Amino acid sequence: MSEIRRTLCNRDCPDACGIEATIEAGRIVKLRGERAHPVTDGFLCFRTNQFLRSQYAPDRLTAPLLRKDGHLEPVTWHEALGFIAERLLAIRAESGPAAILHYRSGGTLGIVASQASELFFEQFGPTAVKRGDICTGAGEAAQEADFGVSDSGELRELERARHVLLWGKNVVTSSPHTIPVLKRAQANGAKLVMIDPVHHRSRELCDTYVQLRPAGDFALAMGILRLVFEHGWVAPDAETYCQGLAGLRALAWRKTVAEWCHDSDVSEATALALATRLHDGPTTILVGWGMARRANGGAIVRALDALAAVTGNVGIPGAGVSYYFRRRRAFGSLLAGLEPPRTISEPLFGHEILAARSPEIRAVWITAGNPVAMLPDSRSVAQALKTRELVVVTDRWLSDTAALATVVLPVNTLLEADDLLGAYGHHQLGATVPVVPPPAGVKSDLEIFQALAERVGQREYPQCSARELKERLVSQVLLKNGISLATLEAGVVPNPLAARVLFEGRKFPTADGKVQLITEGPCEPALSDEAFPLWLMSLSTPKSQASQWAKAPPELLLATVHPAAANGLRHGDLAWLESRLGRIKVQIVHDALQRQDVLLVPKGGHYRNGCSANAITTARLTDVGEGAALYDERVRLLAFDA
């Protein structure tokens, strides 16, 4: 007899979908989207539909691994945790907690799982932690500078928009549950525009497509702004809620419209059409996260914020600049907020660990991440980990990073998680509950740190159930707003702290209550590079969740390029894809719909298979927010000499 149990997807995705799992004889046999979830609406993405392949994969880790004589070998939890405790205590005693780095990424977005690891290392030291964010660092910092906060209004407000600009955002791959909302907006008369150097499937949803130059977003925004000023389309009351309007106007006037359009490779007529759409609001700009992953990424997002602000497309229904949804603020905290003794830049992870002195970084604990595959300059990341005394990785499979560890600890999956969850693509909050127990030998993050805390004498670490911690985290904010843990377990609820219309009444949480407009331009990227003519763009794929693939990961990296930009290589040919940092082997895929200055590869390929674009991507920072300028790498194709 079958039973249906519900939970939420906790992986690094904006949608945080509701899942209905069908259980037979204690085993999950089917997953489907929860029909009652207001965003999931009964369907799941391909990645989650295929998750049972991972849940029951034969290579799933179910016992700790400890490196002995150079090889990872299965051991008991008693031996693994005893070894870790002994080494952590010795390193802290000899070099201080600054010699220990805790790196946590977004492999799971659960609040309890996140705070369980952060609390242990805060109490143990506090130890070193990462700073910056490879994914959203620049964009969030930009919006915080402009608006005082990076947030969005209610997702369904899109249905009240007259125009929606998908600026660098591929909703088909990255936000599939936004698609029904966009279709309802179209049914209400909204026009959709896609602005992106890459041709992708979201084009099918849109009425218009603008295929601008890579890194040309700032120039296009400035060209549009100049047209807005020239045509008198600035909101009549903009002076009352915008700070720096004259400085923004001067910035837009540094070049003519023709010059800005040349730099973005967009016609003046197209720029005027976009300016008209902003004037003919309400207009919402959906900002893609990848666009901020450039050296001028913060300036790009600030320019888009300015476009919306000066045309009056903020603080009113159906308008705004949506980059992120604040998912954590409704939940409480277990942390004391102690200042760490040092921080390590996430985008410069390998370089900064290798360079760290007084003391050196001797131990690295990696939670919910695979930095060897996911951070730029994979070789430096791998070298940094290979040369540490102790590297502990918690994961459910032997990733590129886990393969280099001293100790690997097996953890639960999203279908076994007991946690709290918010989304960064909408404002629904909920609780995850285990639909099945984890296999014997597998622990949650909380259970791992509870056991480790006992071994290192950390008596203040909470030794209670996950549900008791969930109660504590809910009681601090949500319970005061009438939402209990039982409420969350019964189904998702809207975040009571979130506004339906963001900045309604044009009130902003900045020092003076106004939008802080950008008034200084960034360093402009070179428009061409004869030696390396192609922009490398490693893009999300419907088949993978970062480096976790729904099916077997690729053994050969596919490189998609316009036929005229393939350096004479034919469709299907093997080739070297080379940057100034290194080269990897690829197979050519021709696509005449792409620009002739871009080359596309899937994000999340495995480093050990030679399929990670980060192996040839230089570690460099964005202008603000200490993000990673992942999309500023220039590459070329060379004939493969086997």
pLDDT tens for 378-421 read: 999 999 999 999 999 999 999 999 999 999 999 999 999 999 99
**pLDDT on residue 125:** 98
Collapse the DSSP code of 631 into the 3-class scheme (helix H, G, I; strand E, B; otherwise coil) and give the result: helix
Are 335 and 118 contacting, i.e. CB atoms less than 8 angstroms apart? yes
CA atoms within 13 A on the CB side of 375: 33
Across the strands, what pairs with 588? 559
Q: What pTM, to 2 d.p., does this model score? A: 0.97
Q: What is the CATH number of domain 534-639?
A: 2.40.40.20
**pLDDT on residue 546:** 87
pLDDT per residue over 550-571, tens digit each?
888 889 999 999 999 999 999 9
Confidence of residue 524 (pLDDT cuts 50, 70, 90): confident
Distance CA 388, CA 384 (A): 7
Q: Which residues of 357-366 are buried (b: 16+ CB within 10 A; e: fewer)?
A: eebebbbbbb
Q: Domain residue spans in the chain? A: 2-55, 65-134+328-494, 137-323, 534-639
On the question of pLDDT at 642 being above 80, the answer is no
Element of type H or E holding 577: strand 574-578
537 phi and psi angles, rounded to 5 deg? -130, 110
DSSP β-ladder status, 574-578 and 634-639 = antiparallel
Residue 322, burial from CB neighbour count under 10 angstroms (0-12, 13-18, 19+)? buried
On the question of pLDDT at 15 being above 80, the answer is yes
pLDDT per residue over 459-501, tens digit each?
999 999 999 999 999 999 999 999 999 999 999 999 999 999 9
**pLDDT on residue 481:** 97
In CATH, what class is 2-55?
alpha beta
pLDDT per residue over 586-624, tens digit each?
999 999 999 999 999 999 999 999 999 999 999 999 999
pLDDT per residue over 289-331, tens digit each?
999 999 999 999 999 999 999 999 999 999 999 999 999 999 9
CATH topology of domain 137-323: Dimethylsulfoxide Reductase; domain 2 (3.40.228)
Q: Mean pLDDT over residues 438-447, rounded?
A: 98
**pLDDT on residue 553:** 85
Distance CA 258, CA 429 (A): 47
pLDDT per residue over 99-153, tens digit each?
999 999 999 999 999 999 999 999 999 999 999 999 999 999 999 999 999 999 9
The structure tokens listed for 176 are 């599939």
Q: Indicate if 137-323 has the same CATH topology as 2-55.
A: no
Distance CA 414, CA 431 (A): 12
On the question of pLDDT at 46 being above 80, the answer is yes
Looking at domain 65-134+328-494, which of 3.40.50.740, 1.10.3720.10, 3.40.50.300, 3.20.20.370 is its CATH number? 3.40.50.740
On the question of pLDDT at 357 being above 80, the answer is yes
Closest to 270 (Cα-Cα) out of 205, 211, 189, 327: 211
For residue 524, is it left (φ>0), alpha (ψ between -120 and 50) or beta? beta
| Cβ-proximal residues to 480 (8 Å cutoff; 6+ apart), any chain | none
**pLDDT on residue 550:** 84
